[in-house]
Chain A
Amino acid sequence: MTDTAVESRREARSAGPAPPLRPQNRQFAVLAVLVLLAIPLPLILPSAQGAVAVRILIFLIMAVGWNIMSGFGGMFSFGHAAYFGLGAYTSAYLLVEHGVSPWVGMAAGMVVAAAVAMVIGYFSFRYDLKGAYFALATFAFAEMLRLVTTSSDAVNGAVGYQVPLIQGSSVWQMQFPAGSPAYFWIALVLAGGAVALSILFRHSPAGRYVVAIRDDELAAASVGAPVMRHKLLTVALSGAITAVAGAFYTQYYLFIDPQLAFGSSVSIEAIVTAVIGGIGTIWGPVVGAVIVGSLADVTATLLATPPEFLSFLQGRSGLDVILYAVMLILIVRLMPKGIFGTLADKFSERRRR
């Protein structure tokens, strides 16, 4: 090491700026700006892109939910479809069978998903399932829910639910004419709320305990962090947020079935979105959702009218998943902190020098 390097390092150490006392304030401000900027989008975008924007917001909510449990909490879930599906099915069931407003259904779905997450979590932690075993267990529970709903007549089996159409539009019924900007605005409020909740949680005493428990469980317990309670809180919050995505999905697409609700591709979408953006960061899910959410649209356009050299692929499907699979592999290999995490590191390093 050269003298100047030593010099600059020592300088950096003693002059190390104290971080802001409440970093969440800045994050809330950024969130507010992002939400404000997004409000006019559905009025500007053509309607096809408007649908993409809504899908991005759905992915965003799912990724925020997954990130709380698996990013902050370090409990790697392979089965978030369980909570997405419970949100979707609870709200669809209440609406179709009992005429309950989707808003109430959404809240009910959050409660159900949180409760199921705590039950699964309790047994997993009680029996000390870690790493791959925990991932496989969460996967198994999601698949069991898919199989059970597929063969249960009480929830229409494999057929699923159609959301009954109403005349005109109604906020209370969360239903508007196709292509209405209202869908986007509702999704924006829900997604903004999810991100706000994750900011709030991350900087709360509970959230700090959760991160400490992720880093080193015994060391955290040894300075008084209640381990089981905080793990359960984390999975409950994560499940509840993911359920919101499921309930909104059902209202937006007006249809849900066991595969759409509980299929493993739902879990995978949540994971891939968060990982590409940056696991364990506040903004990673946002970045990831924009990328993953718009990929399907880009590739669909590409394959509908492919350039010469891709003409043999016309009308085929699967390209979007291939692209995000490649992106997933590259990101994990080359920048394991994800796009946002890596950029944030670069930035803070430069500032410290």
Chain B
Amino acid sequence: MTATIDTDAPETRAPSATLAVLKRAGVVGALVAAAIAVALIQSGSGIVVWQSVVTGLLTGGLYGLIAMGLTLIFGVLDIVNFAHGALLAVAMFLSFGVVQATGLHPYLTMLVTVPALFLVGVLVHRGLLSGSGGATLENQLLITLGLSLLLENGLLLFFGAEPKNVGLPGETHLDVFGAVVAGSRLYAFAGAVALGLVLYWMLQHTRLGTAIRAVASNGPGAELVGINVRRIHTLTFAIGAACAGAAAALAVPLLSVTPTLGEQFNITAFVVVVLGGMGNVVGALVGGLLIGLVEQLTTIYLDGQSSLLGVFVVFVLVLFLRPQGLFGRRT
């Protein structure tokens, strides 16, 4: 997004950025506490609210992982990838197929889905998005929209619409201070957080990560110091897609696999990305947890309404009031 006014004054950085982030985290924390308190009053049952909070956070971790790939792609390439959910669906079918064919443990299918989605990411970026045809924002939206329609309906055409399920071998249920949690949900959460940390570490402490951050903050500048920007773009898109691959393997025991499952995750992931600040990987993880909570609390607040409604209300409020996200800086 470029400024529309040409001023002859140079931009300057705000000095106390860290402090501002801490302050905002405090405000968000207070809002969450208040929301939980209201839920407590509304439902009158501590255990119901506690169960919701636990379920919400655990689901939220997964949202965070999916959104991380999306936000990375946005932050570095400025592409709003509408096909992210469809890529997730493709990875889920892949994971399902591998389990069916080889009897592999669902989590181990990650060994297939991550490289496969990485490769898909490379192909999609090189084939569809790089170069002049993918230049404007509208064109990128339209291309990724077309891609998502293509992938979803391809799955529908070849595998049909009936849902497929993968069970977790040795599934257990755990008691977390009174809340009942399926083991698969807890493992998925742990896996998501771990992968999120790996991604964050990769961005902060490896040569590739440094190059990616350099390209994100200043493409032409990065080009000048000898970084191959197009290659970094492709790698970033591929890593973003691989995140969806990883998320698919973690989530496959939790969900019914259908060609259109990506749609609902797509929506949620976009909300998470905007909430966390477009391009902010840590923000995506935090945003994921928040949205997981919002979903669960909505069902307490508004009996009979879809949990997504609360998500959209939060989304619209964030878009209007803090389009740069909870942790982003206003540009």
Contact = CB atoms under 8 A, between A and B. Distances in A.
A271 interface: yes
A325 interface: yes
A135 B267 CA distance: 12
B308 A147 contact: yes
A264 interface: yes
B210 to A, nearest CB: 27
A218 B319 CA distance: 23
A38 B220 CA distance: 54
A257 to B, nearest CB: 15
Nearest to A137: B319
B323 interface: yes
B15 interface: no
**Range of interface residues on chain A?**
35 or more
B160 interface: yes
B150 A329 contact: yes
Contacts of A325: 146-147, 149-150, 153
Interface in B146-172: 146-147, 149-150, 152-154, 156-158, 160-161
B312 A132 contact: no
Interface string B258-298: 01000100010011001000000000000000000000000
Nearest to B273: A136
B108 interface: no
12 contacts: A131-B1, A135-B80, A140-B271, A148-B305, A151-B309, A316-B157, A318-B154, A319-B153, A329-B146, A333-B128, A333-B134, A334-B133
Nearest to A321: B153
Nearest to A120: B316
Interface of A: 76, 78, 123-124, 127-133, 135-137, 139-141, 143-144, 147-148, 150-151, 217-218, 264, 268, 271-272, 275, 313, 316-319, 321-322, 324-326, 328-329, 332-334, 336
A318 B320 CA distance: 36
Please report whether the interface of chain A is mostly helix, strand, loop or mixed according to DSSP.
helix
A110 B169 CA distance: 55
B80 A132 contact: yes
Contacts of A332: 133, 139, 142-143, 146
Given A78-B141, A321-B152, 12 more contacts: A76-B141, A127-B320, A132-B141, A140-B316, A143-B308, A147-B308, A218-B5, A316-B158, A318-B154, A322-B149, A325-B147, A326-B146
Interface in B249-265: 259, 263
A136 to B, nearest CB: 6
Nearest to B131: A333
B321 interface: yes
Given A137-B316, A329-B146, A334-B133, A147 B154 contact: no
B4 interface: yes
Given A271-B145, A316-B160, A328-B145, A147 B306 contact: yes
